Structure 1
Amino acid sequence: MSGPLDGLRVLDLSRLLPGPFCSLLLGDLGADVLKVEDTGMGDYVRWSPPYVEGVEDSARSAYFLALNRNKRSIRLDLKSEAGREVLLRLVRDADVLLESFRPGVLDRLGVGYDRLRGENPALVYCAITGYGQDGPYRDRAGHDMNYLGLGGMLALTGEAGGPPVQNAGQVADVGGGALMAAVGILAALQERARSGEGQFVDVSMTDGALSWLAMLAAQQLVAGPGDPPLRRGQLPLSGAFLCYRPYACADGWVTFGALEPKFFGAWCRGVGREDLVEQQFQPPGSDAHREVEAIFAARTREQWTAFAAEHDCCLEPLLELEEALDSELVRAREMVVALDQPGAAEPVRQLGLPIKLSRTPGEPTRAPGPVLGGDTDAVLEAAGYGAEEIAALKEAGAVAGPVSGAQGSFLG
């Protein structure tokens, strides 16, 4: 079955999480994604535990496999002239180039956007960075927490009077970076279909994360001089109301999202406490909140799950990750898939594709994650290099094939 992005050729020079997650989506949807890695350790995440036993060293990281299925790998030394020439030849037939270096790195190597556009004017070039291609922070290093801190999201996350709370998921990396890059790439490709020209897609993870605060920023931007600033624990959807909070029950936690009066009323009637209906928007710490806490604490999570099946009130169990991955919902939505990885004793389980297309669905299990440089020879041959030329490139260190043995860890 052909995917919706069949025929799209992507050169992915990115590493770690944001870029590879973006190209993971493109690859799952049918794009031909080629990881362009250096002749050293390649994508750093390759060497990070936990490992899948029996798999070749450079492809045994569970993190790497989860982000890099449906891709191929070539190793190039972009610090060498011959390695850069290989990249330029590959760019001529590519539709997209994705990278996540700091601004200016590829320019200094002589293979920045202007140079690549000279080889292929139709190329869509996407750069994911922490702070964008311009502005006062363009050259700074950063990670997800830094971007969320500068964009205001971290300050608003947590209980009133308590410390900021870090999210378990990388909101800026994935939501602000990878997803925005995927949208930007597809938008540029759509425009290219009209104009025939590619363009530069500038994705800042800080910009992207800030955009997630669309409604709260709108509130802050129209606030008058006397309006109080927004603070964590005091926002309608993150702690201000007793009707929209997690609650401890007898043996765990549940999530109560009865923001609309009809849902809160259904819960009150279900527990025989219609007197609480008018208390829906009382804050944490109020008498009404303490009563609601006591009601939740009196039943088990299973009892509340049964209650929610009978009363439509936006109440669900709060699952630990291992429970969520084995849940009826996740199984029904095919959000856990299994891939045959060479060397592994059994298929490797990973998250599935969250985008469901009715006529041309994606195929997350099409191919496993590649070993480092495992496709170097095949890619060079397809690009027109002869056997002697490939041997010369390897001898010069401009390219490299598969490597055995761990090269280190980006966490080490």
Structure 2
Amino acid sequence: MTGTATMRQGPLSSLKIVEFTGIGPAPFGAMLLADLGAQVLRIDRPGGYPPPDPTLDFEKMGPAAIFNRGRHAVRVNVKSVEGRALILRLVAEADALIEGYRPGTMEKLGLGPEDCLAANPRLAYVRMTGWGQDGPLSRMAGHDLNYIGLSGALSLFGEQGKLATGLPPLIGDMGGGGLFMAFGLLAAVIEARQSGKGQVVDAAIVDGSASLYALLKALAVAGGGQTPPGTSTIDGGRHFYRTYVCADGRHVAVGAIEPAFRKVLLKTLGLDSDPRFLSNEVKDEAYCTERLGEIFAGQPRDHWAKLFDGTDGCVTPVLDMAEAEAHPQAAARAAFIDVDGVMQHAPAPRFSRTPGAIAITGAEGCRNAPEALEPWGFGADEIAALRAAGAIE
């Protein structure tokens, strides 16, 4: 599917949010909210926000800056009197504010919760950090791997009892961070519309990533303890729930946990009469894993994908990002959209009556756009005066 920037729409179209530019979880959460219609105005620093990697230039990335989509940016000198007044005026019109700085940073700027809630008593003041707003680590630097390491989440990833050396910033930054931040923001806004009172939302990656493994914690308690990573039923420790290497070096994922699905798996592979597969005894695990490994290694990945297509054997190809975008399932659901020449995910989840849309592309979201203040009640003369005063670029 090919798409371009469109009108802002979605179930959150009544929501107005001020977002202070950052990296990682906060902009990801803001993107999710904007995809579903929220009017998000990003506050950037003079000169633009520096990328975490000096070899990257967010503005030159243009449409590839997917995390910037759905909102415009205005570069504001928040240290100036005029810049601070501008922010407080925006806050007075907003439902929520998002900031992802170290605890105390916004207070030093005169834009902490006390100042902003005075300007708008109904405001949801959302703070996105790794460690949270308090505790002995709250002012210490860290990144995704540190946060999920401390939360217990990282200990669950590995192979054959050996811990993973590293993980992409998905479980912490995006899952435990950005998603929980957006969830908390919406909860606070809903409550404020009922009570008329705002509040501070303390979204911490270390908290959210611990919440994500609630099921695994329950299973560990039920089974008497946590097993080493990669050795349990649902993390690669059993032959019927793991990945296998195929003849072409690519992989398939086998997820036949339930006996009915496992029966289809074994019958399709001609193993339904092998007593060691039928016994389901842990003592036979090494044999079963080795045997399946030999079989899958005998043909390329796409052979197995075709063989199991349409069955309940729970065998699917492991795709890279480009392959996932072209898969028939994704195509049927228009799960990825070509926006300005860059394939990217469509807004999710989906709504039957008020679907979301990408209102502003990454290229537009990157650039400084003072005119974006107009929908917030600023006239052209006021914007020109703010520029002349050095409050905005």
- Using the size of structure 2 for normalisation, the TM-score is 0.89
Contact 2:41 2:73 in 1 (8 A): yes
Once the two structures are superposed, the pairs formed by residues 111-150 of structure 1 within 5 Å of their partners are 111-150=111-150
**2:11 pairs with 1:4:** yes
Pair 180,246 (structure 1): closer, same or farther in 2 beyond 3 Å:
same
Partner secondary structure for residue 128 of structure 1: strand
Contact 1:255 1:316 in 2 (8 A): yes
Percent sequence identity is 34
Contact 2:144 2:173 in 1 (8 A): yes
The letter of the residue matching 2:14 is G
Aligned to 1:234: 231
The letter of the residue matching 1:7 is S
- 1:201-240 CA deviation, whole Å, 9 max, x = no partner? 11001111111110222344567xxx55432122221122
CA–CA distance in structure 2, aligned partners of residues 253 and 372 of structure 1: 37
Pair 386,269 (structure 1): closer, same or farther in 2 beyond 3 Å:
closer
**Worse overlay, 209-218 or 175-184:** 209-218
**2:378 pairs with 1:356:** no
Deviation, structure 1 residue 385: 5.8
Contact 1:99 1:127 in 2 (8 A): yes
Partner secondary structure for residue 282 of structure 2: coil
Partner secondary structure for residue 286 of structure 1: helix
CA–CA distance in structure 2, aligned partners of residues 391 and 248 of structure 1: 61
The letter of the residue matching 2:246 is C
The letter of the residue matching 2:364 is P
Once the two structures are superposed, the pairs formed by residues 28-67 of structure 1 within 5 Å of their partners are 28-42=35-49, 44=51, 49=56, 59-61=59-61, 65-67=65-67
Partner secondary structure for residue 90 of structure 1: helix
Contact 2:34 2:40 in 1 (8 A): yes
Aligned to 1:18: 25
Pair 13,306 (structure 1): closer, same or farther in 2 beyond 3 Å:
same
Structure with the larger RCO, 1 or 2 (CA within 8 Å, 6+ apart)? 2
CA–CA distance in structure 2, aligned partners of residues 284 and 66 of structure 1: 47
Structure 1 segments unaligned to the other structure (5+ residues): 52-57, 341-346, 401-412
Contact 1:339 1:367 in 2 (8 A): yes
Deviation, structure 1 residue 391: 4.5
The letter of the residue matching 1:360 is T
Pair 116,242 (structure 1): closer, same or farther in 2 beyond 3 Å:
same
Contact 2:192 2:198 in 1 (8 A): yes
Once the two structures are superposed, the pairs formed by residues 179-194 of structure 1 within 5 Å of their partners are 179-194=179-194
Contact 1:264 1:277 in 2 (8 A): no
CA–CA distance in structure 1, aligned partners of residues 342 and 52 of structure 2: 17
Structure 2 segments unaligned to the other structure (5+ residues): 1-6
May I ask how many residue pairs the two structures share in their alignment?
Answer: 383
Aligned to 1:343: none
CA–CA distance in structure 2, aligned partners of residues 16 and 190 of structure 1: 26
Aligned to 1:374: 368
Contact 1:3 1:362 in 2 (8 A): yes
Aligned to 1:247: 244
CA–CA distance in structure 1, aligned partners of residues 325 and 367 of structure 2: 32
Pair 300,390 (structure 1): closer, same or farther in 2 beyond 3 Å:
closer
CA–CA distance in structure 2, aligned partners of residues 232 and 375 of structure 1: 48
Deviation, structure 1 residue 179: 0.5
Once the two structures are superposed, the pairs formed by residues 96-111 of structure 1 within 5 Å of their partners are 96-111=96-111
Contact 1:247 1:253 in 2 (8 A): yes
Aligned to 1:215: 215
Deviation, structure 1 residue 392: 4.7
Deviation, structure 1 residue 138: 0.9
CA–CA distance in structure 2, aligned partners of residues 166 and 279 of structure 1: 36
CA–CA distance in structure 2, aligned partners of residues 253 and 371 of structure 1: 37
Aligned to 2:4: none
- Using the size of structure 1 for normalisation, the TM-score is 0.85
**2:264 pairs with 1:266:** yes
Deviation, structure 1 residue 299: 2.5
The letter of the residue matching 2:153 is M
Contact 1:265 1:277 in 2 (8 A): no
CA–CA distance in structure 2, aligned partners of residues 310 and 4 of structure 1: 35
Deviation, structure 1 residue 94: 0.8
